[in-house]
Structure 1
Amino acid sequence: MKLFLATAIAALCLGSAWAEPTATGDLGLVIERATGSVLLIDQSERAALARIEGLGDLSHASLVYSPDERFAYVFGRDGGLTKVDIVTRTISKRVMQSGNAIGGAISDDGQLVAVSNYEPGGVRVFDADTLEMVADLPTGSKTIGLVDAPGRRFVFTLWDAGETWIADFSGPSPKVTKIKDIGTNPYDALITSNGRTYIAGLFGQDGLTALDLWDETPVPQHILPNYGRGKQEMPVYKMPHLEGWALADGEFVLPAVGHHEVLWVDAADLNETGRTQTHGQPVFAMARPDGRHVWVNFAHPLNDTIQVIDTQSKEIIHELKPGPAVLHMEFTPRGHQVWVSVRDLDKVIVYDTRTFEKIGEIDAASPSGIFFTARAHKTGL
């Protein structure tokens, strides 16, 4: 028996010595929207490591990471929820949870994954380990702006009803708080990194609506009443993504719906402080992690361009032309690089954020969203 145990221990040790360690902190995934696949990338090597296929319709897809950065939960447009293991580079689990989904979130403890649905509407919540459904929250409306909030909560907004719901999963059963008077047709929302302020953008009327989630019963605060779509007929080629709004040096930088400009809003009192005219209708306005610059991309037909805005002067200081259909940007965690998906070139292009020089590119099939694993440690991402 002793000989058997010694041999087994030796084999385990030898196996451990042979095992190739996998660190996930340098990795990320790129959505390949046309092929239902994700591309595993290494930011230091500026290289693609593997392609993982079989994720369904990724024409409007996003993902979140488990706290240990090993698993990605991919939300497909077809209602598919796919758990991807980036260490083994395989699909761990996959469920079809609705007919049409629009994104999702993971709870702050990493135990629950919530999915926001257009069809049949509502939010469904799943066990992060097994992907078994633990809660179904029907709303009778398309749901948008789903984010995680501290305290095992999810916050989301109803397009049809103009309400925001806060679902608290900290107890034995979910407790839902419904807040009315958010506004007409809220189309997306964001939450600040401290989990306090939730802002919904409105498509059907002027302005936006903010909630202070530190209040026991948050009261809607309507902001920017002189801005919006409600009083003007203007074509909107692509709705801005509000989770791509920037918070830089104490100000929000918000893409204007239908306008060729970004708005600057004081993060403390939520009053407008300025506007910057841009190349086109902004889609993402994303702050470099140090907050000094904001990078902006644009809707069709002006989507071949990125502009860089200095947050001190609020002026455009640089313009790049990566190629047709720039869909997304992602900064490395300390901001020395930005990775840019250029769908119609089938490329992800990497730029140095200080010199603006191109320093690498990766082949990808119709790339859209880029997600580094550092997102695992940030609220609302």
Structure 2
Amino acid sequence: MKTSLIARSVLTILLSLCTLSSHAYSADKLSNKAKPVVDHSKAEKLYEVHCQSCHGVDRLGAMGPALLPENLARFRQKKAIKVINKGRAATQMPAFGQVLNKSEIASLVEYIYTPSKASLKWTMADINASKVQHFDQSKLPNTAQFEADLMNLFIVVELGDHSATLLNGDTFERLDRFKTRFALHGGPKYSPDGRFVYFASRDGWISKYDIYNRKTVSEVRAAINTRNIAISSDGKYLIVGNYLPQNVVILNADDLSPIKVIDAVDSEGNSSRVSAVYNAPPRYSFIVALKDVKEVWEIPYSDKGGVEVYKGWAHDYKNEAKAEGWKVQEQFPVRRIKTDDYLNDFFFDPDYINLIGTARNNHNGQVINLDTKKKIASIALTGMPHLGSGITWHYKDKEVFASPNIKEGKITVIDMEDWNVIKEIKTEGPGFFMRSHSNSPYAWTDVFFGPNNDKVHVIDKSTLKIVKTLAPSPGKNAAHVEFTKDGKYVLLSVWDMDGELIVYDANTLEIVTRMPMKKPSGKYNVFNKISYEKGTSH
């Protein structure tokens, strides 16, 4: 959509989370009177001017979701007209009612519900053919070509000009700044030793960057529209979760060659978009969130085919494999876990035995035991909790989980023993990111949406009270903090083209330094990510 109205950011993906409703689409249910006679050449031009920058060439998706009949099947045209006219609350979708007239909006809607001329298939052959080898990794040094604590480095994503910064977490010196693919999404993932970092873009490109040598070594396009990636604990495999095609792709992390493509189809044959993919370290498996079907998938990985070496389950995995019709040596088999409701946003307990999930429909959260494949509890969650950004900490001799909320101004704190809500902490507006560190007494949360989006709350984890509200750069959106590996400093982003990275003392809450950046978004500390520090997202 028109970027002069609102700066593009990674959060435009929320359009897909908030607007693809459960209503069945039927184009011919609109009255003939409501249907304009569409001049597709004019509608296509409107799309190019107002929509293409976010939704991609041929409507295949970029910063925003793909706008195709396949993606809009659950979304009525009348509602699409309303969204274009008025925008969408809690997303980066602007209103076009003052820019386009009713006829233009109607013709745009008709256009996006027509099939794309582009192919929506992306095969193993397409993936292989897309590979770009920038450097021969075998010829690069195996030691870092600079002096720094390699565990206290950060990757900072700068959305403003599609770049990333490699930052020294001790001196806050910029060690490298390099171009990335358009519209990175889902957070970069580090190899277990911290040497390599992998990025995913909304249009399916997976990039591998060698931190030691400060070079992007290889890239491959795994899909047309991608949600995110995860890396196995042994560093051998990447899994890519996709909207288009509706599948997951397993890549060799060494050379980014595709190993397996698994269509996202439930046991009844229904296809689904993939909301997200996760690594579950104690289980030696990937967990897959499916947006459109009532299933969660577990995909084990190991050198012996995934079904012979598995330490996370209390029951006999081979018996279950046999019951579900797996071949004993099948690589990356799918273990299906059926759910009572759609679950597309997840969090896990520290042992990765229980999955906490919600649908985007104001229903209660569900707690699913991954070992028994059964729901063990419901959680009173309203609004739109952002579980994927939740964190845990120790509170009064119990482990608690806290989640921000995209629709309501509150933080929900949950007891992870009985799954009851302990407290709802009121904030100055809906938020998106929450972070802490095991060495810090505080949890930080932004107020990303609404008029107070320049505010950040600091919560005392021992009292569950807000102890300070900061305004790092008045009038500019403040969001997403990350701690240094020791928890002494907090890095915060000011999401603006004339933005900055602000470093705070994590204890005194005083500003240490400011660094100008082009719309910095997420920042990711090597140690915190590879050690699964409980104060950060995984």
TM bucket (normalised to shorter chain) is: 0.7 to 0.9
User: 1:288 offset after TM fit, Å?
Assistant: 2.9
Q: Judge conservation of contact 2:435–2:480 (CA < 8 Å) in 1.
A: no
Q: Matches of 2:388 and 2:486 in 1, distance apart?
A: 19
Q: Judge conservation of contact 1:295–1:309 (CA < 8 Å) in 2.
A: yes
- Residue 338 (1) aligns with residue 487 (2): no
More strand by share: 1
Q: Matches of 1:289 and 1:154 in 2, distance apart?
A: 25
Amino acid at match of 1:262: I
Structure-1 residue corresponding to 2:359:
202
Amino acid at match of 2:436: A
Q: Matches of 2:340 and 2:206 in 1, distance apart?
A: 29
Structure-1 residue corresponding to 2:378:
223
Q: Paired residue for 1:369, among 513, 522, 525?
A: 522
Structure-2 residue corresponding to 1:152:
284
Structure-2 residue corresponding to 1:136:
261
Q: Paired residue for 2:295, among 138, 163, 166?
A: 163
Q: Sort the Cα spacing of 1:99 and 1:182 in 2 relative to 1 into closer, same or farther, 3 A.
A: farther
Amino acid at match of 1:39: T
**Which has the greater radius of gyration?**
2
3-state SS of 1:25 partner: helix
Amino-acid identity (%): 26
Q: Matches of 1:131 and 1:141 in 2, distance apart?
A: 25
Q: Matches of 1:326 and 1:352 in 2, distance apart?
A: 17
Amino acid at match of 1:122: N
Amino acid at match of 2:300: D
Q: Sort the Cα spacing of 1:146 and 1:187 in 2 relative to 1 into closer, same or farther, 3 A.
A: same
Runs of 4+ in 1 over 3 A off after TM superposition: 19-23
Q: Matches of 1:311 and 1:34 in 2, distance apart?
A: 34
Amino acid at match of 1:279: E
Q: Judge conservation of contact 1:202–1:228 (CA < 8 Å) in 2.
A: no
**1:1-381 to 2 correspondences below 5 Å:** 23-53=149-179, 55-139=180-264, 140-149=271-280, 150-170=282-302, 171-172=304-305, 173-184=331-342, 186-213=343-370, 215=371, 217-225=372-380, 227-229=381-383, 241-249=386-394, 250-290=399-439, 292-301=441-450, 302-323=452-473, 324-344=476-496, 345-374=498-527, 375-378=529-532, 381=538
Q: Matches of 1:222 and 1:117 in 2, distance apart?
A: 29
Q: Matches of 2:147 and 2:409 in 1, distance apart?
A: 48
User: 1:205 offset after TM fit, Å?
Assistant: 3.8
Q: Judge conservation of contact 2:196–2:208 (CA < 8 Å) in 1.
A: yes
3-state SS of 1:206 partner: coil
User: 1:20 offset after TM fit, Å?
Assistant: 5.5
Q: Structure 2, unaligned stretches of length 5 or more?
A: 1-140, 265-270, 306-330
Q: Sort the Cα spacing of 1:187 and 1:257 in 2 relative to 1 into closer, same or farther, 3 A.
A: farther
User: 1:144 offset after TM fit, Å?
Assistant: 2.0
Q: Matches of 1:371 and 1:257 in 2, distance apart?
A: 22
User: 1:143 offset after TM fit, Å?
Assistant: 1.3
3-state SS of 1:283 partner: coil
Structure-1 residue corresponding to 2:42:
none
- Say what the alpha-carbon RMSD is for the aligned residues: 2.1
3-state SS of 2:160 partner: coil
Q: Matches of 2:246 and 2:377 in 1, distance apart?
A: 25
User: 1:257 offset after TM fit, Å?
Assistant: 4.2
Q: Matches of 2:192 and 2:340 in 1, distance apart?
A: 32
Amino acid at match of 1:224: I
20-29 or 139-148, which deviates more: 20-29
More helix by share: 2
Amino acid at match of 1:89: R
Q: Sort the Cα spacing of 1:291 and 1:253 in 2 relative to 1 into closer, same or farther, 3 A.
A: farther
3-state SS of 2:287 partner: strand
Aligned length: 351
Kindly provide the CA deviation profile for residues 121-177 of structure 1, in whole angstroms up to 9, marking residues without a partner as x.
Answer: 221111110101112121121212421013431001111113211011234211211
Q: Give the structure, 1 or 2, with the largest relative contact order (CA under 8 Å, sep 6 or more).
A: 1
341-350 or 291-300, which deviates more: 291-300
Q: Matches of 1:175 and 1:154 in 2, distance apart?
A: 11
3-state SS of 1:34 partner: helix
- TM-score, normalised via structure 2 length: 0.62
Q: Judge conservation of contact 2:434–2:480 (CA < 8 Å) in 1.
A: no
- TM-score, normalised via structure 1 length: 0.86
Q: Judge conservation of contact 2:443–2:461 (CA < 8 Å) in 1.
A: yes
3-state SS of 1:243 partner: helix
